[in-house]
Chains A and B, each alone.
Chain A
Amino acid sequence: EPEVTQTPSHQVTQMGQEVILRCVPISNHLYFYWYRQILGQKVEFLVSFYNNEISEKSEIFDDQFSVERPDGSNFTLKIRSTKLEDSAMYFCASTPMTVQETQYFGPGTRLLVL
């Protein structure tokens, strides 16, 4: 069964460094999402992406964050200058056609900022 993949599974970085989290959504899906979950807290929406542009973003998704679909398969989340509070699990998800469909989640990338 097709699945969403994410790399790396874990990343440790120093505060102020740039990180890029990678996702490969299911191949025929058109809508992509990034979420984050700080340890012990609820999952939070970061951004949705459709037709090569941001469809919606949350207040968390400030200028430090960017998303890109550099080729036909990858979907990346870049954090320009990481802060301690960016430490979290980051999930990528995709849906086939619209936002009102079952979301398929990747396994997550655990980011630790020291």
Chain B
Amino acid sequence: KNEVEQSPQNLTAQEGEFITINCSYSVGISALHWLQQHPGGGIVSLFMLSSGKKKHGRLIATINIQEKHSSLHITASHPRDSAVYICAVLYNTDKLIFGTGTRLQVFP
């Protein structure tokens, strides 16, 4: 069964800490998305990856196709980064399969 596993489920950090959220999937994919869901429910796309690494501001996303694993890193975390971070993958179809999300809380 094509699943997406994320870890940790919950994460708390002090402002300024380096954050890593992990995502693993079961078989070959065509693309992987990292999404951010705000407390109000809105979803924002952070990255779409099919290989390598992408960086946007303090956010870095990497993917290892051989290991079937992706990581989302947040450098110099800030309370406004508090949100649920969701990994979602495309398994050669239109159907995006979502992970359960990682709830991040960053305290001042």
Interface residues of A (CB under 8 A from B): 31, 33, 35, 37, 41-45, 48, 50, 55-56, 58, 89, 91, 93, 99-105, 107-108, 110
Cβ contact within 8 Å between A48 and B100: no
CA distance A108 to B38 in the complex (A): 12
Q: Across the interface, name the chain B residue whose C-beta is closest to A45.
A: B95
Main secondary structure of the interface of A (DSSP, over half): strand
Which of B39-47, B59-67, B75-83 has 4 or more CB atoms under 8 Å from chain A? B39-47
Q: Decide if B48 is an interface residue (CB 8 Å cutoff).
A: yes
Cβ contact within 8 Å between A48 and B95: yes
Interchain residue pairs A-B with the least CB separation, the first 6: A48-B94, A56-B94, A105-B43, A43-B98, A99-B94, A42-B100
CA distance A31 to B94 in the complex (A): 10
Return the contact of B86 from the options A43, A56, A104 (Cβ within 8 A): A43
Cβ contact within 8 Å between B94 and A55: yes
With contacts A101-B48, A103-B33 taken as known, whether A45 is within 8 angstroms of B42 at the C-beta atoms is no
Return the contact of B43 from the options A43, A44, A45, A100 (Cβ within 8 A): A43
Interface residues of B (CB under 8 A from A): 30-31, 33, 35, 41-45, 48, 50, 86, 88, 90, 93-101
Cβ contact within 8 Å between B86 and A99: no
Return the contact of B45 from the options A33, A50, A58, A102 (Cβ within 8 A): A102
CA distance A43 to B64 in the complex (A): 24
Cβ contact within 8 Å between B31 and A58: no
Residues on the A chain within 8 Å of B90, using CB: 99-100
Cβ contact within 8 Å between A42 and B101: yes
Residues on the B chain within 8 Å of A48, using CB: 94-95
Q: Across the interface, name the chain B residue whose C-beta is closest to A58.
A: B95
B61 to chain A, nearest CB (A): 12
Cβ contact within 8 Å between B42 and A107: yes
Cβ contact within 8 Å between B41 and A89: yes
A114 to chain B, nearest CB (A): 20
Residues on the A chain within 8 Å of B88, using CB: 43
Q: Could you give 6 example pairs across A and B, Cβ below 8 Å?
A: A45-B95, A58-B95, A89-B41, A93-B43, A100-B30, A102-B45
